[in-house]
Amino acid sequence: METLEQLISTNCKNFEQFFQSPPALVAYAPGRINIIGEHTDYNQGLAMPCAINRWVTVSISPRTDDQVHVVSIDFDGKMIFSLNSIYEPKTLWEQYIYGCITLFMQMHSIPSGFNAMISGNVPIGAGVSSSAALEVAFVNALNEFFKVELNGLEIIKLCQQVEHQYLHVKSGLLDQYASQFSKKDKVLMLDFHSLSHTYINAETTGYVWVLCDSNIKRTLAGSKYSERVQETQAALKNLHEQISDITEFKDIELEHLSLLKDIVQQKRMRHYLSENYRVKAVAEALKNHDFILFGKLLTASHISLREDYEVSCKELDYLVELALDTDYCLGSRMMGGGFGGCTINLVKEEYVKEFCNKIQEGYYRKFNIEGIINIYETVNGAGTYPVHKNVQYHA
């Protein structure tokens, strides 16, 4: 698997070959895994993600006109438009990029056009947030290139608005936050009510994180995601009408669930409250190196996501079942928006090969689908490289 430096070097080489001049700088942003705390971010809850060693890179250079030329290597596509004209994105990746540029321009003046090239190795549709990595990398490129000096929080909030306004998905900030702020060998303890974070050592001596990609694309994730946002917002409104002191999600306690007569709302809020508890419990388990408890909390999260939040699917459930049918996987759960994507598993390091073989063989036998196994390392969050100082490339 390519390193970040190799990805940047390849991007620069392709940029120069395509645009006949070197880029001024390259920005990058990593994908992420989420250890625990699923579907909590958009309701001001808690989560524990970290960035992984897969990145999206964006190289950029100035133009003398008002044209924007953006090339995507991975999607084999190109978009060209004028800064002063309306552009209709034709593909999903174009929607993300056009959203980033348009919202950036609404906040800050862009004096001239530019060339940009996008490439990377974050798996697409696998639940490790390739879209957030794309947004965060591109906005970091614009921010550094045009010397705007947005801080990290402003960058990720802009990226979130791209999803809200251009993708019509009312997502929270977890993915962008992890991509921007992560540190190597750490997990982020995120509080979305205060928009603050602390770092916890991610040491899992003797165990590794193994992601099993179901190879089921999350076709329902967008619509169901928005549906869950509406359901939980309705639950909050319902409780506020009964108890005026409940004005935010942080005011809701387990004892309040019986006031929700709508069973769906009750189930959604039970997941929310129990998942926040699990995030705190996992933080303690990590500090105490209690991996047995850690694994049990992961599995409890999956059961809650399956039963109460109802965002799993039969393929994910079977991957979890396969994983737990071993003595060397301590815990397993679906990760990400759901309805496809991957599971995250805490596996004894010495049994990783055996684990991967068992998962792939069993999954193929059940569904006739090739599952994809990935083992990731934690990395730092987004950044930029001025090409003339840090990157060597060869045309």
DSSP 2-34: --HHHHHHHHHHHHHHHHSS--SEEEEEEEEEE
245 is an active site residue: no
Q: Are 45 and 51 in contact (CB under 8 A)?
A: no
**Helix, strand, coil share of the chain (percent; to 5):** 45, 25, 30
State the DSSP H helix or E strand holding residue 360, giving kind and residue range, or none if neither.
helix 352-367
For residue 54 the two structure tokens come to 């897969």
Q: Is 59 helix (H, G, I), strand (E, B) or coil?
A: strand
For residue 2 the two structure tokens come to 């390519």
Other Cβ atoms closer than 10 A to 372: 15
**Options 41, 175, 213, 308, the catalytic residue:** 175
**Nearest one of 79, 92, 70 to 142, comparing CA atoms:** 70
**First-to-last C-alpha distance (Å) of the chain:** 22
Residues assigned a catalytic role: 175
